[in-house]
């Protein structure tokens, strides 16, 4: 594997450093989920929370998804709530 194989797209990168014991360490830094795109989905009756992301440029209204509620043991509606 060459250095050019290790380099990913612009958002992803490889970091190399020589460790204290003389071993070459390779660490991959992938794209991290932006806090701006994270939204909280909450069920009013149980208070359970799911976290997901949303493209705020394309979706302007609040999201409602049917997700599984462990407390109720069935699928119920989770609505977008404030963080």
- d(Cα 34, Cα 57) in Å, to the nearest integer? 14
Residue 28: per-residue pLDDT: 47
CATH 3.30.390.30 applies to domain 38-81: no
In contact, 69 and 43? CB cutoff 8 Å: yes
At 40 the pLDDT is 96
Q: Around Cβ 59, how many Cβ atoms within 10 Å?
A: 11
Q: What is the pLDDT of residues 4-55, one digit of tens each?
A: 555 444 444 544 545 554 555 554 445 565 788 899 999 999 999 999 999 9
Give the residue range(s) of CATH 2.20.28.120 domains in the chain.
38-81
Tell me the pLDDT tens digit for each residue of 11-25.
Answer: 445 445 455 545 555
pTM for this prediction:
0.58
């Amino acid at each position: 594997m060459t250095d050019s194989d290790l380099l990913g797209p612009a958002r992803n990168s490889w970091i190399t450093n020589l460790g204290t014991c003389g071993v070459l360490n390779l660490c991959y830094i992938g794209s991290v989920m932006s806090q701006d795109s994270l939204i909280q989905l909450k069920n009013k009756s149980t208070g359970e929370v799911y976290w997901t992301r949303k493209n705020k440029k394309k979706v302007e209204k609040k999201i409602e998804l049917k997700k599984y509620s462990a407390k109720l043991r069935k699928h119920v509606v989770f609505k977008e709530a404030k963080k």
